[in-house]
């Protein structure tokens, strides 16, 4: 069974805290410059819809973790989820973070910026990873490995990330431009720590990401479609 030390958990939280803090600086500037801090129903509904994502996803059980509310508020992230999902059979853990908000701040700072600022090193160049969902077209995520050495011990994590404005998850090259004018934007991070080292571990991870995206579609986006239809 995979175990996670207290220091490891603190390191994981420091990554998310750093990401949120960095979004703060440029996100506030972007929001004031473009005057796009609005309270439209679409943005509010998208933020609330995140609460529909279940804690239990097949063999994976989620535990909520906290990101500083002040960081999220200042960053313009009107909705968020930060969870650690544990496979009840293997003990493997996968961290999931989703931010929702105006497209300007949410488009900023992928892990290649904020993880490095948190003390991690880029171990492999980001590559586009196509994820096939059952009965759906594939969607693309960026994927990269990051490493951190402490007391001569190297820790390696594997992270996927992508954006979605309701039209599918995409490994956008220029998300700030690609999503300009969108009423809301989601950014999803999926991080395995440690990075899977066996074929079975990699297969479980790939399956988890696929079913996570299915759950997101059925519980978050379908609820938004129902609200739009009702209006």
Q: Please, what is the average pLDDT of the chain? A: 82
Are 103 and 179 spatial neighbours (Cβ–Cβ below 8 Å)?
A: yes
Q: Worst-scoring range by mean pLDDT, 22-26, 133-137, 149-153?
A: 22-26
Q: At what angle are helices 41-49 and 222-230 packed, to 10 degrees?
A: 140
Per-residue pLDDT at 22: 47
Ramachandran assignment for 135, one of left (phi > 0), alpha (psi -120 to 50 degrees), beta (any other): left
Q: Worst-scoring range by mean pLDDT, 13-17, 99-103, 148-152, 191-195?
A: 13-17
Q: Is the pLDDT of residue 30 over 60?
A: no
Q: Is the pLDDT of residue 44 over 70?
A: yes
Find the radius of gyration of the CA atoms of the chain: 17
Which H/E stretch holds residue 75? helix 69-75
Domain boundaries, given as residue ranges, for the chain = 6-230
% of residues, the chain, pLDDT over 70 = 77
Beta-bridge partners for 146: 122, 157
């Amino acid at each position: 069974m995979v175990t996670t030390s207290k220091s490891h958990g603190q390191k994981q939280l420091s990554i998310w805290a750093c990401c949120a803090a960095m979004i703060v600086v440029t996100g506030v500037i972007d929001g004031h410059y473009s005057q796009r801090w609005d309270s439209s129903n679409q943005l509010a509904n998208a933020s609330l819809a995140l609460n529909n994502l279940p804690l239990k996803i097949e063999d994976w059980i989620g535990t909520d973790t906290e990101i500083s509310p002040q960081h999220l508020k200042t960053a313009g992230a009107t909705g968020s989820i930060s969870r650690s999902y544990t496979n009840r059979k293997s003990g493997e853990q996968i961290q999931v973070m989703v931010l929702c908000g105006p497209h300007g701040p949410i488009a900023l700072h992928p892990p290649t910026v904020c993880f490095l600022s948190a003390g991690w090193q880029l171990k492999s160049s980001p590559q586009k990873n196509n994820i096939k969902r059952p009965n759906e077209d594939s969607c693309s995520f960026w994927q990269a490995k990051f490493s951190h050495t402490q007391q001569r011990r190297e820790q390696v994590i594997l992270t996927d990330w992508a954006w979605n404005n309701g039209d599918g998850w995409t490994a956008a090259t220029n998300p700030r431009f690609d999503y300009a004018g969108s009423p809301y934007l989601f950014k999803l991070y999926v991080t395995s720590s440690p990075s899977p080292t066996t074929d079975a571990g990699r297969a479980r991870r790939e399956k988890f990401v696929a079913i996570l995206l299915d759950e997101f579609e059925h519980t978050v986006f379908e609820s938004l479609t129902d609200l739009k239809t009702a209006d």
